[in-house]
Structure 1
Amino acid sequence: MTTTTGAGSVLDADHALARDLAVEAGRLLLDLRGSFTGDAAGLRAEGDRRSNELLLARLRAERPADAVLSEESEDDHVRLDSSRVWIVDPLDGTREYGEVPRDDWAVHVALWVDGALAAGAVARPARGDVVATDAPPVVPDRAPGPLRLAVSRSRPPEFVTALAEHLDAELVPMGSAGIKATAVLDGTVDAYVHAGGQYEWDSAAPVAVAASAGLHTSRTDGSALTYNAADPRLPDVVVARREVAETVLGAIRTIEGGRSA
């Protein structure tokens, strides 16, 4: 049985596998965090390594014909000749993971099929939950008040600060990219805008889930996000509620226009 997506088809089992992999890797990371006796740097490195090993082993066993792009593995570019590519971030928010008991880190598992994201899951292990395309989340009604924008807790970028000032919006600090993007799904914020440089694995899974739930996803110029490119850098992303997306994009255009004038 298949579910048709924008540029092809994906097995229903792929949606379930994305969820299972994200949850299993998250469970491993929680167990490691609870038992590790070294310092924070060692915990971060071991978390990256072990989660990546688990995901690669499971994908080799479950989908041996598929290619994989992982933050923690060398890119051999074999994926460019594949019609099915798993894009994974074994530990999104490595910094936050090492700062026990912070919970704003995640595991990303996405599947790209024939030109488009087709399935995905973002596990938030320390929060005990996962959002995934096998059961797209229901986005709650927007809370009254000013727009709320997710922003990095430790490194708020100048661009988003300027955007918040233009929109008279509230900045809501939080950790990893996946946590910020999925905060739009939860209704914690109205939009996540990033323009400081990222890679495909930072946004693929959150974007897949957000799109499945009906949220707006795009580049900051409003163009479509594309994945499985030869260069995996994907420097900017917008995830927003539909009813505020054009307001946010319009403000971005104004700010960018002022900078280039």
Structure 2
Amino acid sequence: MPAHDLPLLIDAAHMAGRVATSFTGPTAQRWDKADGAGPVTEADLAVNAQLLSTLRLARPDYGWLSEETEDNTDRLSQDRVFIVDPIDGTRSFVEGSNTWAHSIAVAEHGVITAAVVYLPLRNKLYAAAKGQGATCNGLPITASAQTALGQSTVLVAKPALLGEHWKTNNRPEFKHSFRPSLAYRLALVGEGRFEAMITLRQSWEWDIAAGALIIGEAGGVALDRTGAALQFNNADPRLNGVVAGGTPACAALIDALA
């Protein structure tokens, strides 16, 4: 089944890219979501509509969980569910940056089985199917095997670097960088360009699902901030933070967290 779904996700991602790039980020109509949930643009909604139509037509028995679709409990009774972020990194899209991504995944009984992260303006398509490895533009990728945290670069937002999040109120030494899209951060770690990524806040499943499988199929691991396995299609679609990367770096970071 993962191999059956992956070509569908790849085709859908390319279509999403064509829809999104038909809008000009800085001039696309935008709104601010309620409760400080961030911006949404007409491009997000157009991509969501295209993906919903394309994917549900192809797999009418699959459930649906998307950032831009009002959630309901129907998906909880379905064996397989699409988990979608139409544009991950909407602020970057609005700013005219090229680091936003489409994130599309399939979960089966809570486990991600097929996934795509696509950055149309960077011409980078990351893909994975469970048990079949991960690729970037069709070429195999492998997560970093770096064992020394001090020699690692971690993708992380500045708030997570504060001492209060770490044992002895002091984070371990590692280099750090940042990318605004969580899906892209996960894909970059799967590609081995960075050793790990951390987000300590509650994270929506649609930001994480595709990238988590890409890292796992690239030989790494994606866990929550306590070291527990990630489970998807939850009634509350939020995860307890994410620590992901090459297995040695991931284990060292989780051990160092308060």
Fold in common (TM above 0.5): yes
Counterpart among 129, 142, 145 of residue 139 in structure 1: 142
* 8 Å Cα contact 1:90/1:107 also seen in 2: yes
Tell me, what secondary structure is at the counterpart of 1:91?
A: strand
**What is the match of residue 202 of structure 1?**
207
Shift of the alpha carbon at 1:239? 1.1
Partner of 2:106: 111
Which amino acid in 1 is paired with 2:62? D
Question: 1:191 matched to which residue of 2?
Answer: 196
Higher helix share: 1
Task: Specify every segment of 5 or more residues in structure 2 that has no aligned partner in the other structure, as ranges.
Answer: 33-38, 136-140
| Cα distance, 1:39–1:199 mapped onto 2, change above 3 Å | closer
* 4+ runs deviating over 4 angstroms: 36-44, 140-145
1:29 aligns with 20
Q: How many residues align?
A: 238
The 5 A counterparts of 1:36-115 are: 37-38=27-28, 44-100=40-96, 102-115=97-110
**TM superposition score normalised by structure 1:** 0.83
For 1:149, the aligned partner's letter is V
> Out of 5, 24, 27, which is 1:14 matched to?
5
CA distance in 1, matches of 2:118, 2:255: 32
Is 2:220–2:247's contact at 8 Å kept on the other side of the alignment? yes
Query: Is the alpha carbon distance of 1:249 and 1:224 closer, same or farther for their aligned partners in structure 2, counting shifts above 3 Å?
Result: same
Aligned to 1:230: 235
CA contact (8 A) 2:222 2:245 kept: yes
CA RMSD of aligned residues (A): 2.4
Report percent identity of matched pairs. Answer: 30
The Cα of 1:217 is off from its aligned counterpart by 1.0
Partners in 1 of 2:224 and 2:73 — Cα distance?
24
Q: 1:14 is aligned with what amino acid?
A: D
Change (3 A) 1:246 1:67: same
1:178 maps to what in 2?
183
TM-score (norm 2): 0.84
Residues 74-95 of structure 1: CA deviation (Å, up to 9, x unaligned): 1121001000101000010110
For 1:208 and 1:244, locate their aligned partners in 2 and report how far apart those are by CA, in whole Å: 17
Q: Is the 8 A contact 2:144 2:189 kept in 1?
A: no
Q: In structure 1, what residue type is equivalent to 2:209?
A: A
Q: Within 2, Cα distance between the matches of 1:233 and 1:37? A: 31
Whole-Å Cα distance in 1 between the matches of residues 216 and 192 of structure 2? 15
In the aligned structure 2, how far is the partner of 1:228 from the partner of 1:234? 10
